[in-house]
């Protein structure tokens, strides 16, 4: 069963000529067929096409991901394939080019095996806001997989793909990684090109990776990172060989735990798992101490002004004129705009557009948007101050275990608060990773590791150290 093997082992087997890429794709395709009906992780499966391409691959020792299957969140463009953003607005949109992250993966031999489900335009924390269908949590199909990258997290959890790309604007990689019991990393803002990622909130969005093992995540992140001329916000920072760096002993690493998080409402199971995790780190010789992030309590209100404001601006292009959905009947252009947007967008997207339009409107810009940006700066400075005392900051990833379908859709604020521990990281543009630290009542609990700007190495090292001890990757749902 090749689908059970780690990605790095598959690469080695293919490079040595012991296994052909076609066999790898066939094995994961078989697993996809076993699991997809009950999980519904994919909007557009592409296994048949991947299988055709795999037949012609000649194994190369130079390619880092020869014939490796990768799932891609459906707000990241893949040339010649549908990219829907899980919205009626883009239901039949065919991407004219590859996102830089996708072209870099293909350049190293990877094969895209499907476009995964998400909350519409990446706005949500449960994948219930997909215009097509909700994805199920592989550990309990009555519960949500998290969001917005729920399809990517679930596909990796059930191993219908060994790794997947997601995007993270306020926790959209880390929260579903936590709910699905896998690793999810959001790199530093600017580490990975956003070219070809459908924009939600441009100053917060970042593409990242899901995997079951730290080494697999590190290798894929190496491939997609680095400066891109097509994205002015991508940084010209050297890309470390994370897949090798992580195996070095994380000697002398210190971990800070923000005292303010103890004031947040955490489910008892989550609190208990996190405290046990900290005790285990100390046994491994990691220093754990308290730090302070005094402005962290303002993160959610600041985020829900900044993100919808940028979304309101970014989503103005969906007007029925050039591409995407257009209403059937209208008397003039104004009615066409109004009806197209009303029929094409779902409830949550409309809510955020209206929030953002209000915050940016004359007379309110200074009171809301400008003030939120000032709070954002204070949150960044809090982190920088804390990083003078410690190397990594640790928190639970989510305040609760995966919740049931319908539990939070009636009250939007309840849903927004499930990102309370992840949002501050995006506001500060920092790298952060979620990894499984426990299973409670049969459901996974994630721990979040936050690093200094450009220091993905420390959080990946710590994740690798934990993985050797906890071996969370041995647990596979639906087997």
DSSP classification of residue 121: G
CA distance 174 to 229: 28
Q: Which token pair is 142?
A: 């009555």
Does the annotation mark 374 as catalytic?
A: no
Strand partners for 197: 76
Sign of the alpha-carbon torsion through 296, 288, 179, 163: positive
Residue 73 annotated to the active site: yes
Question: Is 172 tagged catalytic?
Answer: yes
Q: Which of 87, 103, 160, 172 is catalytic?
A: 172
- Residue where the block lists tokens 């299988």: 51
Q: Which of 193, 153, 155 is nearest to 173 (CA)?
A: 153
Taking the CA atoms of 91, 93, 99 and 105 in sequence, report the sign of the dihedral they define.
positive
Q: Which residue out of 27, 103, 130, 148 is catalytically annotated? A: 148
For the chain, what's the residue count?
Answer: 479
- Whole-number Å distance between alpha carbons of 383 and 349: 31
Tell me which of 27, 64, 73, 160 is the catalytic residue.
73
Strands (E), 297-442: 392-396, 432-440
Answer for the pair 102, 72: CB distance below 8 angstroms, yes or no.
Answer: yes
Q: Give 266's Cβ-side CA count (13 Å radius).
A: 21
H-helix or E-strand spanning residue 214: helix 214-224
Sheet with 432-440: list strands edge to edge: 42-45, 111-116, 69-73, 163-168, 206-211, 183-186, 432-440, 443-451, 392-396, 254-258, 287-291
Please, where are the H alpha helices in 147-201? 150-157, 174-180
Q: Classify residue 332 as exposed, middle or buried by CB count within 10 Å of its CB (0-12, 13-18, 19+).
A: exposed
- Point out the residues that are catalytic: 73, 148, 172
């Amino acid at each position: 069963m090749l689908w059970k093997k780690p990605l790095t082992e598959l690469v080695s087997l293919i490079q040595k000529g012991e296994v052909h890429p076609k066999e790898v794709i066939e094995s994961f395709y078989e697993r996809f067929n076993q699991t997809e009906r009950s999980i519904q992780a994919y909007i557009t499966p592409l296994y048949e096409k991947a299988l055709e391409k795999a037949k012609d691959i000649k194994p190369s020792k130079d390619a880092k991901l020869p014939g490796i299957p990768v799932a891609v969140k459906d707000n990241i463009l893949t040339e010649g394939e549908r990219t829907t953003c899980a919205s009626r607005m883009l239901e039949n949109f065919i991407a004219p080019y590859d996102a830089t992250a996708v072209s870099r993966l293909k350049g190293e031999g990877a094969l895209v095996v499907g476009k995964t489900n998400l909350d519409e335009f990446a706005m949500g924390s449960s994948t219930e806001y997909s215009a097509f269908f909700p994805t199920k949590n592989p550990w309990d199909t009555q519960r949500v997989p998290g969001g917005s990258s729920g399809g990517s997290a679930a596909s990796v959890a059930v191993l219908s793909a060994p790794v997947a790309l997601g995007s993270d604007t306020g926790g959209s990689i880390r929260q579903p990684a936590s709910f699905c019991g896998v690793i999810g990393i959001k790199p530093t803002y600017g580490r990975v090109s956003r070219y070809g990622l459908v924009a939600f909130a441009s100053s917060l969005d970042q593409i990242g990776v899901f995997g079951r093992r730290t080494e697999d995540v590190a290798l894929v992140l190496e491939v997609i990172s680095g400066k891109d001329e097509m994205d002015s916000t991508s940084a010209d920072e050297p890309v470390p060989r994370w897949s090798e760096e992580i195996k070095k002993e994380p000697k002398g690493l210190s971990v800070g735990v923000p005292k303010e998080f103890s004031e947040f409402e955490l489910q008892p199971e989550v609190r208990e798992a996190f405290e046990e995790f900290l005790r285990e780190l100390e046994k491994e010789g990691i220093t754990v101490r308290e730090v302070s992030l005094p402005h962290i309590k303002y993160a959610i209100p600041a985020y829900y002004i900044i993100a919808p404001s940028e979304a309101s601006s970014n989503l103005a292009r969906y007007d029925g004129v050039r591409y995407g959905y257009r209403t059937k009947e209208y008397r003039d252009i104004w009615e066409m705009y109004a009806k197209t947007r009303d029929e094409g967008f779902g409830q949550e997207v409309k809510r955020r557009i209206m929030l953002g339009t209000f915050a940016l409107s004359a007379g309110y810009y200074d009171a809301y948007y400008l003030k939120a940006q000032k709070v954002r700066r204070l949150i960044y400075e809090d982190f920088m101050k804390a990083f003078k005392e410690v190397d990594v900051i640790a928190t639970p990833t989510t305040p609760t275990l995966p919740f049931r379908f319908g539990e939070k859709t009636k009250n939007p604020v309840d849903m927004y608060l499930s990102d309370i521990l992840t949002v501050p990281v995006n506001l500060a543009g920092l790298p952060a990773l979620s990894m499984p630290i426990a299973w409670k009542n049969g459901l996974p609990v994630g721990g979040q590791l936050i690093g200094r700007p450009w220091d993905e190495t420390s959080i990946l090292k710590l994740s690798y150290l934990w993985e050797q001890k906890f071996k969370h990757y041995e647990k596979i749902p639906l087997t």
